[in-house]
Chain A
Amino acid sequence: MPGARVVVEHVSRRYGEALVLDDVGFVVEPGELVALSGRSGSGKTTLLQLIGSLDKPTSGTIRVDDIEVEKLHNPAHYRREVVGFVFQLHHLLPSLSAQQNVELPLVAGGIGHAERTRRSHELLDEVGLGDRPKALPSDLSGGERQRVAIARALAGQPRLILADEPTGSLDSTSARNIWELLNSVRQTRGTTVIVASHDPSLAEHSDRALQIADGRLISASEDDESTPARNVA
């Protein structure tokens, strides 16, 4: 399945008096791997949450392919089959095995048992954990948990992966492995990947880097031709 095209236009998000995102706009082309860098509290997570429909913008529009994200009333299907989330703290359910965690989006999607088992095994194989489907999160290392989280994000065969500090709690080796895995997913599946990180070196591994500070998009890498001029320093 080809990656999604993401268009963010004039997006702002306000929590009470605090303006967390201020008139942000950019475009991510299908299959691109974009790094969204900035300090903690700069608005990266909020931006990913808005694109993933975990939250709604105060103003502005977000389109993922032909979906107007901010207008979704019941975003469950969108979260399940269009986007896949990878969080910094993996957020696996502790009572479920690796395989059951991977199956969560498929259960919600009403996929049958046989198909779920097949897909979850394939995905665990893909992330290098094919031999540990029954392992509980507590039995896995930090890097392995994050791999399960990536497999779970891929379960719904999404067109867009949103990864929020996926290597933030990992050692350098595990972080590099996770990064390579995300890159591999992008290359083999053509999935669009947006990765938020406070690590500026992330830009080296991505097609393009967007930098955000105090809720404003302040820069883009040199080869960025598609980023609208708005709010870019």
Chain B
Amino acid sequence: MTSLLQTLSSIRHRPGRTFLTALGTALGIATIVALLAVGAGAQRSAGQFFHLGASDLGLFQKDAADPTTSVLPQSMIKQLRKTPGIQAATGFVLLVSDVPHNPGVVVFGSTPSNFEVNRMVFSAGHMFSGTHEAVIGNETAKQLHLGVGDRLHVKGHKLKIVGIYHLGVEFQDTGAFIPLRVAQSIAGRQGEVTTIPIELSVKTRPSTIKRLLAKRYPGIAIIADGEESIRLGANGDLVSKAALVIAVLALVIGGIGVMNTELMAVIERRSEFAILSAVGWSGRQIAWRVMIEGIVTTFLGAIIGLLLGVIGAHYLVQILGASEFVTPHITAWALGRALLIGVLIGVLGGLYPAWRAAHVSPARVLAQH
């Protein structure tokens, strides 16, 4: 405890060096936290995206770069409905970046009645029935200042808004639904859909149907949860991998940075370690002192980094233009991992300087002073 207090005294005595070391760590940790938060947000969003609310399984084309580029034949839906264990299946066409002034609005081409849209709660109007009609989510209505009777522009098509719904799924509440045929026309995909959400019978196990469908349709990807969806979506996967790469880089670069700073500090403070050695501190005790200093400094940096990361994550999605799709999701595990990395940076960066400090020759150093 005293050793720790004395270490803190020593840190306080060198505020400039401590600040710079902590700042270096903080920036590394902030990057990790921001990327992990964006990655987790993307994963959660992707989960919602693939599940589309009430479905048990989501079918996509295998190896699609992202959900909107998936292409499946609409004829599959009829076959799927006949499959034992599948209670309902429907098809959606997903259109992204097709609403002027708000490219984040995802437009779903859908039939007017299926197990997904039947859950819609209308705060105004009703479900579309004609080919030139659309319904919009309550969040879209707020963002675009639209109401029933107004027009929704989707890639040159003007659709009359006949209802405002709430589904409780972020993507859908910030999106819009239009007739499937209109969406297919806009996308140039007649007879095709982007995804097929499936609802299973009560007693059917998802794994059984997954196996069956995988065998029957080798070219499709079947998603049952968000983890799988992030693996399927190349963009989400990229974010996830980027977070890992940044974490490793932060460990290596942060570790080298801390090592360099600590090493400079050890060289600068050789006389201090020589004195400690002369008054009876063992090499191990001196090494511990240096290690504790490194860990405390990087821990402080990590705490600052966590705060910066949490703030930075929100700016990051805005800079990436993904704020409509991704809300940074900050979990205790992500923060814990970042903190752990901070401490690891302190430990790894402090090892060599600690060894150097422990081997300072008091005779030589004190003779020089």
Residues on A lying within 8 angstroms of B by beta carbon are: 45-46, 49, 52, 54-55, 74, 76-77, 79-81, 85, 87, 89, 91-96, 100, 103-105, 107-109, 113, 116, 152-153, 155-156
Contact = CB atoms under 8 A, between A and B. Distances in A.
Given A91-B369, A93-B272, A54 B278 contact: yes
7 contacts: A54-B366, A55-B363, A81-B280, A93-B276, A95-B10, A113-B2, A156-B280
B85 interface: no
A79 B369 contact: no
A80 B2 contact: no
Contacts of A153: 279
B280 A108 contact: yes
Contacts of B320: none
A54 B363 contact: yes
Nearest to B278: A85
A79 B271 contact: no
A49 B367 CA distance: 10
Contacts of B279: 79-80, 85, 104-105, 108, 152-153, 155-156
Contact of B367 (A45, A76, A155): A45
Contacts of B285: 76, 108
A80 B281 CA distance: 7
A153 B283 CA distance: 19
B12 interface: yes
Nearest to B284: A76
Which residue, A76, A103, A116, has most C-beta atoms of chain B within 10 A?
A: A76
A84 to B, nearest CB: 8
Nearest to B366: A87
B318 interface: no
The majority secondary structure among interface residues of chain B is: helix
A152 B278 CA distance: 11
Interface string B354-369: 0000000111001101
Interface in B275-296: 275-283, 285
B113 interface: no
Contacts of A108: 276, 279-282, 285
Contacts of A89: 369
B363 A93 contact: no
Contact of B276 (A74, A81, A104, A113): A104
Given A79-B280, A156-B280, 6 more contacts: A76-B281, A79-B277, A80-B280, A95-B13, A108-B282, A153-B279
A74 B367 CA distance: 21
Contacts of A81: 280
Contacts of B10: 93, 95-96
Interface in B245-300: 271-272, 275-283, 285
